[in-house]
Structure 1
Amino acid sequence: MNDEPLLHLAIAALYNYGLKNAQLTRLGGASNTNFKVDADGQSFVLRLHTSALHDRDAISSELAWLSSLHSNTTLILPKPIVNLNGVLVTSVFADNELELLCTLLSWVTGKIPPTVNTLTDEQLAKVGSVMAQLHNHSQQFKLPDRFKRQTYDAAHFSQRLEPLYMTLSDTANQNELDSLKVNGNHIITRFTQLERKQDSFGVIHADFHSGNY
């Protein structure tokens, strides 16, 4: 889908938030199509969930955690915005009647920091503090009903390792490949033996890199 249909869908989505005559600026994004929205003296981020990686429950679950982090930590975070019907996930429909899910967040001014290998000790400490607050919050976060996010379990790791083994089968010798598989299976086995308690198994930020913090 090219930019023009997406722009029309973005404008349609904004009507659900009472935002008219807004200025939209296309932003980067891997999983979603994102726009900066300037309207009524305020700025927002409109996300069109174009990748189909997540359904309504998964997106709502993400925003439930974000809302809780916004309310219960000192982290500077975008705030999810409800639409005129009081819900966080908005539907718009393309010409082919395909439903597209959209969400609106408050705008947070910032800049992407350097990569980890060029961060100063002070910057690294701040990054560590952010991650610590995420982990501390996760220990007391109560999952709402119908909470749905990707689970990093034995099946997930096994599935992710298979393409790696296939790729290395052409370049690594058999002893090296066998050793890698043995160690991979050992790690997965130990992982499955970990007790799933509130302080050791819960919600995490699975993409914590400098472009996201």
Structure 2
Amino acid sequence: MSRLLLEEYGLRQAHITLLREGENSVFRVDIPSGERYALRLHTAGRHHPAALDSELEWLDLLARNGAIPVPQPVRSVSGSWVASLRVPPAPSLLCTLLTWLEGEALPEGQEFTLTQAEQAGEVLGQLHTQAEQFRPPAVFERPHYDAPYFLASARQLQQNITTFVDRQRLDRLNVALPQMLRKLGPLNDIPGGFGLIHADVHPGNFLQQETGLALIDFDRCGWGPFLLDLANADLALEPEERAALITGYTRFRALPAGYEHPLKALRVLAMIDNLAFLSERPEELPFVLEALPVVETALVAAAGSS
């Protein structure tokens, strides 16, 4: 099937290597001329064609501007970003093709080093500078990372752990999270700006190149506070690495006075969202349950702070 989809891009002779399976199946595509691509099969059905098209419009703009190294989407022979293949009785399969970025994946399961944290900050500062200038076309569909989104994420987490956690603990979360969100206020008014964010910033979505870090996997990009990307990036960093992240960021984009307080609250939201995602995988449940008390403590503190 992947070969049939490659024909949608005029690539009939290619060596295809499966890299990973998950929400998307990703393949490396090597063609005889020496060019290399990344082929994504969107098997989870999480995004419909209009949302994928919007992701790639944004990614294409970033690639053409050249401020940060990102993969560039490739149009099909029909001129569209998204190719579709129907092989009955299976449903239509959506496919996108990206140029291949050279670089070394950061070690799995490890956090940023001091140097990498600073480089990640530089990438995010430049990304958000581009996002501030972006004016979406009339049709542009991406997720919104707002209060309803995080409340829904918390409900998903609770559903997945309800048989393992005392009901009173879940009730406390149900009270503390809305309290914190009310104190935080509308997420599009948070100091530091609001716009298109990557929304999945962690070491696994960076490649180490000779001149710094490249950013990949924009599958979750959407509308949210810029500080949310920083919150995701520094979830498990030590104070020194967190400071390096901010140092790199502010080389390209200033942060307002007092940004630390909303950043701390957004870090809690990022933790809840991350645990909700991981709780969908049975093999990750032990980690989720181990990390939950840390999230509970941070959430209660944020909900009660002035």
In the alignment, which of 101, 120, 131 is matched to residue 124 of structure 2?
Answer: 131
Question: Which residue of the partner structure matches residue 38 of structure 1?
Answer: 30
Tell me, yes or no, if structure 1 residue 69 matches structure 2 residue 62: yes
Whether the 8 Å CA contact 1:157–1:188 is kept in 2: the answer is no
Whether the 8 Å CA contact 2:85–2:92 is kept in 1: the answer is yes
* Distance (Å, rounded) in 2 between the aligned partners of 1:168 and 1:97: 34
Question: Which residue of the partner structure matches residue 50 of structure 1?
Answer: 43
Question: Which residue of the partner structure matches residue 22 of structure 1?
Answer: 14
Tell me, yes or no, if structure 1 residue 100 matches structure 2 residue 87: no
Question: Structure 2 length as normaliser, TM-score?
Answer: 0.60
Q: 1:172 to 1:144 in 2, by over 3 A?
A: same
Per-residue CA deviation, residues 19-74 of structure 1 (Å, 9 max, x unaligned), is 11211111114221111111132111111111100100010011011111112242
Map residues 104-115 of structure 1 onto 2, 5 A cutoff.
104-114=97-107
Tell me, yes or no, if structure 1 residue 78 matches structure 2 residue 71: yes
Per-residue CA deviation, residues 142-166 of structure 1 (Å, 9 max, x unaligned), is 1122211121122111112224456
Question: Which residue of the partner structure matches residue 10 of structure 1?
Answer: 2
* Distance (Å, rounded) in 1 between the aligned partners of 2:66 and 2:3: 33
Deviates more, 1:104-113 or 1:71-80: 71-80
Per-residue CA deviation, residues 153-212 of structure 1 (Å, 9 max, x unaligned), is 2211111222445646964584x6555433311222244435559962221111111111
Give the AA of the match of 1:33.
S
Question: Which residue of the partner structure matches residue 150 of structure 2?
Answer: 157
Question: Structure 1 length as normaliser, TM-score?
Answer: 0.84
Q: 1:144 to 1:29 in 2, by over 3 A?
A: farther
Instruction: Give the secondary-structure state (helix, strand or coil) at the position aligned to 2:203.
Output: coil
Shift of 1:82: 0.8
Q: 1:23 to 1:106 in 2, by over 3 A?
A: same
* Distance (Å, rounded) in 1 between the aligned partners of 2:173 and 2:11: 54
Whether the 8 Å CA contact 1:34–1:48 is kept in 2: the answer is yes
Give unmatched runs, 5+ long, in structure 2: 207-306
Deviates more, 1:91-100 or 1:73-82: 91-100
Question: Which residue of the partner structure matches residue 174 of structure 2?
Answer: 181
Instruction: Give the secondary-structure state (helix, strand or coil) at the position aligned to 2:197.
Output: coil
* Distance (Å, rounded) in 2 between the aligned partners of 1:88 and 1:200: 29
In the alignment, which of 119, 134, 140 is matched to residue 141 of structure 1?
Answer: 134
Whether the 8 Å CA contact 1:140–1:198 is kept in 2: the answer is no
Give the AA of the match of 1:181.
N
Give the AA of the match of 1:105.
L
* Distance (Å, rounded) in 2 between the aligned partners of 1:150 and 1:195: 13
- Structure number having the greater helix percentage: 2
Whether the 8 Å CA contact 1:61–1:147 is kept in 2: the answer is yes
* Distance (Å, rounded) in 2 between the aligned partners of 1:63 and 1:81: 9
Whether the 8 Å CA contact 1:48–1:100 is kept in 2: the answer is yes
Give unmatched runs, 5+ long, in structure 1: 1-8
Per-residue CA deviation, residues 62-109 of structure 1 (Å, 9 max, x unaligned), is 101111111224211111011111111111112316211111111111
Whether the 8 Å CA contact 1:56–1:89 is kept in 2: the answer is yes
